[in-house]
Amino acid sequence: MSGAAQAKASQRVLRGNPRLGLALGALALLVALIALLIAQPTLAERAAASDFQARLLAPGGEHWFGTDVLGRDLLARTLQGLTLSLWVGAAAALLGTLIALGLAALACHGPRTDVAVGLLVDSVLGLPHLILLILIAFAMGGGTQAVIIAVALTHWPSLTRVLRAELLQLRQADYVRLSRRFGKSRGYIIRHHLLPALLPHCLVGGLLLFPHAILHEAALTFLGFGLSPGQPAIGVLLAESLRYLSAGYWWLGVFPGLGLLLLVLAFDRLGNALRRLLTPREAQQ
């Protein structure tokens, strides 16, 4: 398209920009995350403070989400749990992305390593997800670190596949072959051609890995193989709530669950929006 030659002076179009929704959503999420971070010390204090005068209060003016069996504020505990989930999820997603990138690079090294990595990907994908998670977390003795490593170790395969395919295609691309014939070194090509092309995939892959990591962290903790029951993790809250749900204390399960759902949905939407943005063909639509 030689259209650019005829580009009119670029004009700012604020109204009706289809990306307005995405920008506002991302901004709101960012503000919420920062607020959560700032409120952290106060939250931790409130989440731990028990008040036996105020046990199992229904949601109301003073305690918006109600209180639990020890009279602790459920709003503070939910937010505290989400913060914990965010850290665990972020660490696991980052670790998983790095594993995927390393294995993808290994797969592109030669036909033998490619077969080996392919086998590894298939066998991990073939095993039931949750069982593997439980096994790893259990073997590592539980706790935050174990959960992060377990989630990271089970979540790299699909991203590895994407990155491997992308890398194989890139290496065969005419412009990469030409770069070699211009006398550019392997390192130059990796730094200037390959990595910049993979970065968007890693970013989107990591961001989409994030909600998975959070969900599985919660599931693992819920089943008792993850974070310790003393920590106000979402999984712990949900597990505790089970005992009281039948007695009509619905808020104990509903609010932490909703919080988890919203967080996961928000990051899923953000990841998908970013993927569209980075796909040249879809970006202009």
Partner 1 sequence: MLEIRQLALDFLRYRGLWRRETVTCLRDVSLTLARGELHAVVGASGAGKSLMAQALIGLLPGNTRRRGELWLDGEPLDAARQAALRGKRLALIPQSLAALDPLVRSHRQVAWAAQRGGAAAPRAAAERAMAQLGLVGDSARRYPHQLSGGMARRVLLAMATAGNAEWLIADEPSVGLDPQQRDGVLDQLRRVADTGKGVLLITHDLRHALRVADRVTVFHAGTTLETAPATAFHGRGEALASDYARALWRALPDNDFARPAAREATQLA
Partner 2 sequence: MLEACDVTVGYRRGESVLRGISLQLAAGEWLGLSGASGSGKSTLGRVLAGHLAPRRGSLRLDGTALPRRGLHPVQWLPQVPELAVNPRWRIGRVLNEAWSPSAAQRRRFGIDDAWLERYPHELSGGELQRVVVLRGLAPGVRYLIADEITSMLDAITQAALWQALGEEAQARRLGVLVIGHDPALLQRLCQHRVRLEQGQLFASS
Nearer to partner 1, 20 or 178 (CB): 20
Q: Does 179 interact with partner 2 (rule: CB under 8 A)?
A: yes
Beta bridge partners of 67: 73
Neighbours of 260 (CB within 10 A): 23
Q: Quick check: 155 and 148 in contact, CB under 8 A?
A: no
Which residues from 186-205 bind partner 2, rule CB under 8 A?
A: 192-193, 196-197
To the nearest whole angstrom, how small is the minimum distance from the Cβ of residue 12 to partner 1? 6
| Token code pair at residue 131 | 């069982």
| Token code pair at residue 198 | 């993979």
Nearer to partner 1, 15 or 112 (CB): 15
Placement of tokens 């003073």 in the chain: 62
To the nearest whole angstrom, how small is the minimum distance from the Cβ of residue 87 to partner 1? 28
CA distance 75 to 67: 8
Placement of tokens 């003795």 in the chain: 141
Q: Does 181 interact with partner 2 (rule: CB under 8 A)?
A: yes
Nearer to partner 2, 31 or 195 (CB): 195
Nearer to partner 1, 19 or 177 (CB): 19
CA distance 26 to 31: 9
Nearer to partner 1, 20 or 35 (CB): 20
Beta bridge partners of 73: 67
| DSSP notation for 112-151 | HHHHHHHHHHHHHHHS-HHHHHHHHHHHTTSSHHHHHHHH
Q: Quick check: 252 and 65 in contact, CB under 8 A?
A: no
88 in the Ramachandran plot: left (φ > 0), alpha (ψ -120 to 50) or beta?
alpha
Neighbours of 261 (CB within 10 A): 12
Q: Does 7 interact with partner 1 (rule: CB under 8 A)?
A: yes
Nearer to partner 2, 42 or 279 (CB): 279
| Token code pair at residue 11 | 């004009």
Q: Does 1 interact with partner 1 (rule: CB under 8 A)?
A: yes
Pattern 16-45, partner 1, x by CB under 8 A = -x-x---x----------------------
Q: Does 15 interact with partner 1 (rule: CB under 8 A)?
A: no
To the nearest whole angstrom, how small is the minimum distance from the Cβ of residue 175 to partner 2? 5
DSSP, res 52? G
Nearer to partner 2, 126 or 183 (CB): 183
Query: Of the ranges 1-9, 39-47, 65-73, 230-238, which one interacts with partner 1 (CB under 8 A)?
Result: 1-9
CA distance 17 to 118: 43
Q: Does 272 interact with partner 1 (rule: CB under 8 A)?
A: no
Q: Quick check: 150 and 133 in contact, CB under 8 A?
A: yes
To the nearest whole angstrom, how small is the minimum distance from the Cβ of residue 278 to partner 2? 11
Size of the site for partner 2 (CB under 8 A): 19
Interacting partner of 187 out of partner 1, partner 2, none (Cβ under 5 to 8 A depending on kind): none
Q: Does 172 interact with partner 1 (rule: CB under 8 A)?
A: no
Could you list the residues that contact partner 1 (CB under 8 A)? 1-4, 6-13, 17, 19, 23, 277, 283-285
Could you list the residues that contact partner 2 (CB under 8 A)? 1-4, 173-175, 177-179, 181-184, 192-193, 196-197, 280
